[in-house]
Amino acid sequence: MPCCKGIKPGTFRHTIIIERGVKTPDGSGGNTIVWGTIKTLRAKISPISGRERVYAQRLEADTTHRIMLRYTPGILPSDRINFNGRYFQIRALLNLEEANRFLEISAEEGVAQ
């Protein structure tokens, strides 16, 4: 059975930016994370679930998404995804059927980096 049957090129209609954080000195003896662009890619973004929770006496909301894209080596779980100014923390990277054709990323929006 061919990998990822039914995925067509037109499926990837969203443009995403993969960003990687680099620690840089902040001048006060600490570090700041500066995010830089690694790659710009086409993807399909589908929301999976959402929830609200109370954290530190504040109401926070987060949403889980499935992001599909063509296989791209070099993406790390510590990277983040920028989609039109919305930031997604990568939770899992799956190389579908280990065929190096498609990646499925499980990501959360609205959570601390």
Q: What is the pLDDT of residues 28-56, one digit of tens each?
A: 888 899 999 999 999 999 988 765 555 55
Which residues, listed in sequence order, are joined to residue 97 by a DSSP beta bridge?
Answer: none
Q: How many helices (H) and strands (E) does the chain have?
A: 0, 6
Q: Under 8 Å CB-to-CB from 68, ≥6 apart: which residues?
A: 7, 11, 12, 43, 44, 46, 102, 103, 104, 105
- Tens of pLDDT, residue by residue over 69-113, are 999 999 999 999 999 999 999 999 999 889 999 999 999 987 655
What global pTM score does this model have? 0.79
Q: Strand, helix or coil at 55?
A: strand
Distance, CA of 96 to chain centre: 16
102, 68 Cβ separation under 8 angstroms: yes
